[in-house]
Amino acid sequence: MSRKCPTGKGIQVGHRVSHSNVKTNHRFLPNLQTKRFWSDTKKKFVSLRLSTAAIRTIDKIGLDTFLRKFGIKA
């Protein structure tokens, strides 16, 4: 399973910087969570692996609107 949210949020790369200013490579992973949502149109639970930002968006606009907006087939 890739570490990417269906909304497009994925891995970012950067540096860890020490006190002596030595830079080492670092990967910043998205905060992905597996969560079940109730779909009113399908009348069943839908399990999605989303970032926490996407989960907050679903709480705001609703699951069915979110799925249509991002073109997710669930």
What digits encode the pLDDT tens for the residues 35-69? 999 999 999 999 999 999 999 999 999 999 999 99
**Tens digits of residue pLDDT in 5-39:** 999 999 999 999 999 999 999 999 999 999 999 99
**Domain spans in the chain, listed from the N-terminal domain onward:** 31-74
* DSSP symbol at 61: H
The CA distance from 18 to 70, in Å, is 39
Angstrom CA distances, 54 to 16, 32, 38, 45, 60, stand at 27, 9, 15, 17, 10
At the top level of CATH, the class of 31-74 is: mainly beta
- Whether the Cβ atoms of residue 6 and residue 72 lie closer than 8 Å to each other: yes
